[in-house]
Structure 1
């Protein structure tokens, strides 16, 4: 796929019917923004023709940025020296590109480095824009939108809301519901604070260099040199029928030789997420060849909007995510049925409730992390997670609701992210109730994963 860039520009907010607001203000990042990954997240959309012209999407982006001003700003330090979004209205990167071939020749997209051509090239240099967009046109009239955004500014839920607003603005419709932009004041610590859970070693840890007295630590040596293997990203499709059988298996009796998990007798069954992730956890652990006595841990993103009391509005713009960390012995995980893994996941996620979120706010606001030199465990420089895994579920995010005027996308996927041990879940592009899982593993483990990933046990 040869992609030709035809233009690259900055799009700034377009304010309708009034003067532009001051560009000297800033919004401090709150405790949830600062503890998440300091990285850009990229997604890809594909739209069948007819599609509106690029100029319409550019104008729509300008109007959407006027509503979501933080995306048009820059990361920096606020007046108090703390990390902040500077409301500079400096704008977003807008790139136009073309491919001299029909889209069908490249579909379905495979998770490979070639996908990076569908995003603005950063050439290894510093990136200032918090949002970068590339519109790639194909000879058949199809449009591919590569969207890249900085995670510190917003999580998946908030980013999905912005993308829907961009579509509405392109169609000259009101960008509603409006975002709730109160990240600086919404999450205040209690008086007195009550830190009721262990956040050291969970959201925060002491970096390896400090654990070793300030000496440089070779992370590749710590993982046994495995980073020298090649990492591949593989997409596996679980059909609606497969997911139904998997859920039924997770909710069935484990048999006379194995006792049910502690909470299984009090529950009717396990959710789609718990069943699918439990299955993937067992399958990846087996494919990696992990055995008895080796611990394996899942890092599961948990959206706190509906968990806090009172609930945080769905339209809240910012980060509202913490993590659940179920842990298992690898041998036990693989030898026991999927119900065991689903139950571990259910219990771990259930513990990340309102009390946990408020305890985190109190701890993260106390200054203890800074005083002790702690760093977030969400470390984008860690390219190998084995024997652990991380899963991000996009099953409930409205990514498929984006409509620029020619209808919703017929294809959506995360871009190429070769971080070993990561998994992304999203609804199947077929729209049949199935689930796509993008799994990143070492090449040596991937072949075994492919062989066993449809085995239900």
Structure 2
């Protein structure tokens, strides 16, 4: 891949909601504010040209019209980030618009058959958003030499988690696919009441909850050498073998256990060292009553499990099953009290008013952080010309961070997107694909 000059910007504009929308400052919950310093999540969808759609394929006017319709319900995405009079971050909802960029590239879709996330991929296909602009969301439609399209998106994490983001992409693409017809129903409409995740008064953090909930902390350090982003494909047969070896746990628990043990072994951590796993958990169904099905915002907390390297990295199936059971037990312990304690803890820390974390690009070598997109409608973004050939996060910036995604074929396979030190890539790959 070349430099940014390989993509020529043809148009840059703002798309506003197609109808009048509420005008107000949207209060953000502690689960939103903890992500205020994270910036925009970069993702790229690749689409192969559909024969017979000349002149219509990814018609820009059609995409803009569909987005304008979708933004009526998802109006916070057209707002701007600002700080209120008390110093708390909020979204100013006044229909200011979504950044919409149209570009052209001499690359072809086939150039990305074995595409890997990288800073270059982000520079090429994800719209650049100046942090001082307050823009919440931007897209870039890049027409490729072969006729295909790269659709890059940049959504500020303070506005939405993965569940909410994919809900919007489903709605936007459905409007486009159905030529602007009303495709939403009452159940599909997003809920923007973030006070549902307000801290208690007074805040109370239950001591036992800190054994399950992990305060969102990034203490980045410099990696031991260059880092690389890599996607590993795990077949459905290998997933099944991992689940059996781990005692019949879920795909998430089995794959996470295996990645954790492989990373510890590849990094050659001392056997008596404590290693920590942190991972995201959706709280929507753990509240009483549960949050609305389409709550729009951030409804995730970080859970944690720790152990000695000699246990986590053990090759025995018995120990694999024990580690997987420990992860499963952590998930099961996430009840309403743990969620409330997490919210109260974050509110007390006033996370939304703290400066962004330091800029090192590696977690501690003893830490693994896993974000699960398993089961999410990642490949449902069909704008009327077929589902994407590939979808991926454009770049993972820190070593020790992993994203899990469905393989895209509906067969139970999994894609593991990991950022790691280049020096351990060969050993990690050998361990990952070794029989269990």
Is structure 2 residue 16 aligned with structure 1 residue 12? yes
Q: How many residues align?
A: 414
Q: Which residue of 2 aligns with 1:450?
A: 429
**Offset of 1:91 from its aligned partner?**
1.1
Match among 273, 281, 299 for residue 278 of structure 2: 299
Q: Please list every run of 5 or more consecutive structure 2 residues that lacks an aligned counterpart in the other structure.
A: 51-56
Q: Which residue of 2 aligns with 1:359?
A: 341
Is structure 2 residue 379 aligned with structure 1 residue 383? no
**Offset of 1:8 from its aligned partner?**
1.3
User: Relative to 1, partners in 2 of residues 1:438 and 1:376: Cα closer, same or farther, differing over 3 Å?
Assistant: farther
Q: Is the 8 A contact 1:203 1:377 kept in 2?
A: no
Give TM-score scaled by structure 1 length.
Answer: 0.84
**Offset of 1:357 from its aligned partner?**
0.7
Is structure 2 residue 82 aligned with structure 1 residue 83? no
**Offset of 1:126 from its aligned partner?**
3.8
Alignment of 1:189-268 (within 5 A): 189-190=199-200, 194-197=204-207, 203-204=214-215, 220=221, 226-227=222-223, 229-251=225-247
Alignment of 1:21-170 (within 5 A): 21=21, 23=23, 25-36=24-35, 38-39=37-38, 40-50=40-50, 51-116=57-122, 117-122=124-129, 126-170=132-176
Q: Is the 8 A contact 2:228 2:420 kept in 1?
A: yes
Q: Which residue of 2 aligns with 1:349?
A: 331
Greater shift in the superposed pair: 161-170 or 199-208: 199-208
- CA deviation map 1:406-445 (0-9, x unaligned): 1222311111123100000101134432100011101112
Greater shift in the superposed pair: 198-207 or 344-353: 198-207
Alignment of 1:277-292 (within 5 A): 277-292=256-271
Pairwise CA RMSD: 2.6
Greater shift in the superposed pair: 320-329 or 409-418: 409-418
Q: Is the 8 A contact 1:393 1:424 kept in 2?
A: yes
Distance 1:277 1:203 in 2: 17
Distance 2:279 2:87 in 1: 32
Distance 2:163 2:329 in 1: 23
Distance 2:390 2:217 in 1: 41
> Rg larger in 1 or in 2?
1
Distance 1:22 1:248 in 2: 51
Give TM-score scaled by structure 2 length.
Answer: 0.87
Paired residue secondary structure (2:403): strand
User: Relative to 1, partners in 2 of residues 1:205 and 1:433: Cα closer, same or farther, differing over 3 Å?
Assistant: closer
Distance 1:292 1:98 in 2: 52
Match among 389, 393, 411 for residue 432 of structure 1: 411
Paired residue secondary structure (2:64): helix
Match among 382, 399, 403 for residue 382 of structure 2: 403
